[in-house]
Amino acid sequence: MVRTLLVAALMLASTAVVAQESNVEELAQVCSGCHGENGVPQEKTTPIIWGQNEGYLYLQLRDFKKGSRKNDMMGPVAETLEKADMKALAAYFNKKTWPDLQQPSAPKDVTATAMEAINSIACKGCHLDQFQGDGTTARLAGQQREYLQNTMLAFRDRSRGNNPGMSDLMNAATPDQLKAIAQYLAGLQIIGGTYGR
Ligand code: HEC
Ligand code: HEC
């Protein structure tokens, strides 16, 4: 009797896992419409989410749903997601390999302008030495240039309001410096290990 119950419980548990996995796959198909079938986003203003840090992905979905981060495309998508979906999607996309958009490295003068602000604001203290980020801090290396520029300017004018600390930091740089930083970060590759992880 105990044994039969145990087997039944195990079977239930495993079907639940299967159901959840296929649910994530289904949800992820919606995301691919904009974030790309192969991880390369359709538009230059849409960020890479493949290989992005798990905690960061989850927090953004939560913030889009809460409305503390606003976007006409992501708002309606996040509204339909439950917390468990967001957690599952964050884990799912984190495991994918970050795509190489083959954005060129920034020229010397742009790099110099970028580095001046990067050093004075100590971006690497949080985003780490190769701008790979970790946990709830975003990976920036190799992200879409246009997206990076837009989102830093949005933090700066506080239209992206989900992290006031980042907004304060962005106000320590000029818009021209942020544009240079976007170009610099977009052209970065992560050295060592598999690309993007
Ligand atoms: C209609 C197009 C569209 C769809 C569908 C879509 N996204 Fe997005 N997503 C965007 C755009 C555009 C942005 C950038 C918003 C901004 O600039 O603030 C974005 C931003 C994000 C971000 C923030 C990334 C970052 O670097 O801050 C995450 C996470 C995200 N999307 C996850 C998802 C997931 C998961 C799905 C599927 C459930 C999905 N998106 C479906 C267009 C879309
Ligand atoms: C004190 C730690 C800290 C410092 C210093 C810092 N950041 Fe951030 N940054 C974060 C965190 C945490 C996030 C995620 C914010 C969120 O949850 O929306 C973030 C988000 C970002 C994003 C958004 C990424 C995306 O995919 O949308 C960009 C771009 C960024 N930071 C650039 C920079 C640059 C450039 C500097 C230096 C000029 C910098 N940050 C300094 C902690 C930091």
Provide the pLDDT for residue 195: 44
- Per the listing, tokens 């985003």 go with 127
Provide the pLDDT for residue 191: 78
Q: Distances from the Cα of 33 to the Cαs of 40, 54, 60, 113, in angstroms?
A: 11, 20, 18, 36
Provide the residue-wise pLDDT of the chain in tens; the chain has 197 residues: 555 554 554 454 445 555 566 799 999 999 999 999 999 999 999 999 999 999 999 999 999 999 999 999 999 999 999 999 999 999 999 999 999 999 999 999 999 999 999 999 999 999 999 999 999 999 999 999 999 999 999 999 999 999 999 999 999 999 999 999 999 999 999 876 444 44
Are 50 and 194 in contact, with CB atoms under 8 Å apart? no
Q: Is 74 in the pocket of ligand 1 (CB under 6 A)?
A: yes
Nearest atom of ligand 2 to the alpha carbon of 172? 38
Query: What is the C-alpha radius of gyration for the chain, rounded to an integer number of angstroms?
Result: 19
Q: Residues with Cβ < 8 Å from 22, sequence gap 6 or more?
A: none
Task: Give the integer Cα–Cα distance in Å for 115 and 122.
Answer: 10
Q: Is 123 in the pocket of ligand 2 (CB under 6 A)?
A: yes
Which of 58, 169, 179, 184 has most ligand 2 atoms within 8 Å of its beta carbon, as the pocket-test mutant?
169
Nearest atom of ligand 1 to the alpha carbon of 52? 26
Q: Is 114 in the pocket of ligand 2 (CB under 6 A)?
A: no
Q: Ligand 1 centre and the CA of 22: distance in Å?
A: 20
Provide the pLDDT for residue 93: 98
Q: Ligand 2 centre and the CA of 166: distance in Å?
A: 6
Domains of the chain in start order, with CATH, are 17-94 (1.10.760.10), 108-186 (1.10.760.10)
SS3 string, the chain, reads CHHHHHHHHHHHHHHHHHHHHHHHHHHHHHHHHHHCCCCCCCCCCCCCCCCCCHHHHHHHHHHHHHCCCCCCCHHHHHHCCCHHHHHHHHHHHHCCCCCCCCCCCCCHHHHHHHHHHHHHHCCHHHHCCCCCCECCECCCCCCCHHHHHHHHHHHHCCCCCCCHHHHHHHCCCCHHHHHHHHHHHHCCCCCCCCCCC
Q: Distances from the Cα of 127 to the Cαs of 75, 131, 141, 185, in angstroms?
A: 26, 5, 9, 11
Q: Ligand 2 centre and the CA of 12: distance in Å?
A: 42
Which of 71, 127, 148 has most ligand 2 atoms within 8 Å of its beta carbon, as the pocket-test mutant?
127
Q: Is 123 in the pocket of ligand 1 (CB under 6 A)?
A: no
Nearest protein Cα to ligand 1, atom 23: 60
Task: Give the integer Cα–Cα distance in Å for 116 and 93.
Answer: 33
Are 51 and 94 in contact, with CB atoms under 8 Å apart? yes
